[in-house]
Every structure is written in structure tokens, then in C-alpha cells.
């Protein structure tokens, strides 16, 4: 949340999204000009096990924020996911119809619908397979998980038949910031610009950071011990973002180069 003029503009506030009374009071006290909503329950299997919790966090809290955005005349950006699609073909465009195959995707789609219905001015920004040099709210992303495994010289199974559009978190943040500053409305796919399998991404990561790719073992989705189904190819077409944004979605080579720089910077600071 951001208010350009309020004294609280630079103050960080920790909120329990499903404590709606506190959420309402806090947002009204800040009086934001814009709301960037990135929080979600993203554990796909947990969402399948705890469907009510997933709806409470990903749908009901989002609807509450969208209502507050309308009440306060604030612009709202809602970060959604490639998992709103069924994965039957990939390279989905913004106008393609969602068809989630798991409850995580369904709950995020309901969040999208709430934002479109309730907020007067909003943008839905979909990303895919977000990664970066730091864990997001304590959750280790795919790239960091892979690095940890390979640095320990552990053989690691990586999917050869699930395709995504890996998104560097720093690049995503830059695109979201531009969307918010320019008040761009509608739906934007703001993932990385390269479609590739998780295995192909792992190979490229090994090449960039200098790890042994021979430790990678190809695996297939049918072999995974998952509770929830995953889309086979949920990659996103970023043509609209490429055309509209000044900050462009990065191709995987440049994104991984920046990722390597982030890791080096953290080592120096440590």
C-alpha cells in the first residue's frame, strides 16, 4: 500500500490478511493511493488439502482489499498466477480463458474475478515460476532449492515435461512498479520472456552459476507424489508487456545473469 502524501507512506505494517477487522482499520488508516497485492497462499498441495483456507486467503482477503480500493479510490494491482490455466497448450495470452485444474489456481482465479468486479481501477498481473536470490516470505523458490541440492552434490530430479516462464523476482518488481505508477488497467502477463521446461531451466542455471548439470535427473509429472494436479504447460505470452511496458520481461539468459549478480552481491554483504 502506498500513499504519496501521508506521513505513514514509508512505514511497514504487518497484517494478518484473514483478520478482516484489523485489515479494514489498517488500510483505512493508511489511506493508500495504490494497493499492490502480492500476498497469497501459494503451496499448491496445501491449497488442495485446506480448500477453505485457500479461499479465505486467496479469494476472500483479495475481495476485501478490492472493496477497500474502491472505497478509498485507490488503484489496485493484483499479482496472480499462470496456474489459472489448465496447461493444455502453453504460451497463454491475456485474452485466453482460464481453466484451473487445482484449487490453488481456482482460488487465485476467484481473486482475479473479485478484483475485476469490486475495484474501480485495477490491473491483474500474472507471473510464472517466480525465483530470486532471497526466499519469499521464507519460502525457498525453485532456483534456490536447486542450487542448494547441487552444491551438496546431490542427484536431483527435475521435470522434463512441465513448461513454465521462469520469472526473476527483481524484474517482476520493476514491471509491477511501472504498472502501478502508470495506472495501467486490465490484465498483463509479466513473467519471464522464455518458455522452457523446468529441466531446461535447471541446465541453464547450472551453466550460468558453474554447477554440475550431470547431477540432474529428468523426471516426468506422472512420477511425482503430488496431491494436486499441475498444468503441463502454463507458460505465458508476454507480447503485451513487451509492447506496452518500458521495463521489458527478461529472456532467461539475461535474467539468470542478473540472478548470479544478486547471489554474488549477497555473498559480499555477508
Q: What is the pLDDT of residues 76-134, one digit of tens each?
A: 999 999 999 999 999 999 999 999 999 999 999 999 999 999 999 999 999 999 999 87
The torsion angles phi and psi of 73, rounded to 5 degrees, stand at 55, 45
The answer to whether residue 48 scores a pLDDT higher than 80 is yes
Task: Look at residue 136 in the predicted model and tell me its pLDDT.
Answer: 59
Percent of the chain exceeding pLDDT 70 equals 92
How far apart CA 127 and CA 82 sit, in angstroms, is: 6
pLDDT in tens, 169-207: 999 999 999 999 999 999 999 999 999 999 999 999 999
How far apart CA 83 and CA 27 sit, in angstroms, is: 29
Task: Look at residue 267 in the predicted model and tell me its pLDDT.
Answer: 63
Alpha-carbon distance values, 56 to 43, 47, 52, 154 (Å):
14, 11, 6, 38
The full set of domains in the chain, from first to last, is: 7-269 (3.40.50.720)
Query: Higher confidence at residue 197 or residue 137?
Result: 197
Q: Which band of pLDDT confidence, cut at 50, 70 and 90, is reported for residue 137?
A: low
The answer to whether residue 140 scores a pLDDT higher than 90 is no
pLDDT in tens, 54-89: 999 999 999 999 999 999 999 999 999 999 999 999
Task: Look at residue 11 in the predicted model and tell me its pLDDT.
Answer: 58
Reported pTM: 0.93
Q: Say which residue the cell 551453466 belongs to.
A: 207
Q: Which band of pLDDT confidence, cut at 50, 70 and 90, is reported for residue 13?
A: confident
Task: Look at residue 1 in the predicted model and tell me its pLDDT.
Answer: 57
Dihedral sign for Cα atoms in the order 120, 176, 194, 81? negative
Amino acid at each position: 500500500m502506498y500513499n504519496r502524501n501521508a506521513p505513514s507512506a514509508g512505514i511497514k505494517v504487518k497484517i494478518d490478511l484473514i483478520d478482516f477487522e484489523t485489515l479494514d482499520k489498517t488500510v483505512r488508516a493508511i489511506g493508500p493511493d495504490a494497493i499492490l497485492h502480492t500476498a497469497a497462499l501459494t503451496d499448491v498441495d496445501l491449497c488442495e488439502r485446506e480448500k477453505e483456507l485457500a479461499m479465505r486467503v486467496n479469494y476472500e482477503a483479495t475481495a476485501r482489499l478490492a472493496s477497500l480500493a474502491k472505497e478509498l479510490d485507490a488503484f489496485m494491482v493484483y499479482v496472480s498466477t499462470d496456474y489459472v490455466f489448465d496447461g493444455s497448450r502453453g504460451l497463454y495470452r491475456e485474452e485466453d480463458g482460464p481453466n484451473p485444474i487445482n484449487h490453488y489456481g481456482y482460488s487465485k482465479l476467484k481473486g482475479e474475478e473479485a478484483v475485476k468486479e469490486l475495484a474501480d481501477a485495477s490491473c491483474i498481473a500474472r507471473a510464472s515460476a517466480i525465483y530470486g536470490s532471497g526466499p519469499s516470505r521464507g519460502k525457498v523458490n525453485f532456483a534456490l532449492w536447486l542450487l542448494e541440492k547441487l552444491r551438496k552434490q546431490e542427484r536431483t530430479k527435475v521435470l522434463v515435461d512441465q513448461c513454465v516462464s521462469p520469472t526473476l523476482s527483481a524484474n517482476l518488481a520493476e514491471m509491477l512498479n511501472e504498472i502501478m505508477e502508470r495506472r495501467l488497467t486490465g490484465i498483463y502477463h509479466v513473467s519471464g520472456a522464455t518458455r522452457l521446461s523446468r529441466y531446461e531451466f535447471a541446465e541453464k542455471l547450472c551453466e550460468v552459476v558453474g554447477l554440475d548439470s550431470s547431477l540432474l535427473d529428468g523426471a516426468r509429472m506422472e512420477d511425482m507424489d503430488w496431491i494436486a494436479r499441475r498444468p503441463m504447460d502454463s507458460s505465458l505470452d508476454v507480447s503485451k508487456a513487451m509492447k506496452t511496458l518500458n521495463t521489458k520481461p527478461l529472456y532467461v539468459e539475461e535474467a539468470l545473469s542478473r540472478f548470479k549478480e544478486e547471489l554474488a552481491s549477497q555473498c559480499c554483504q555477508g
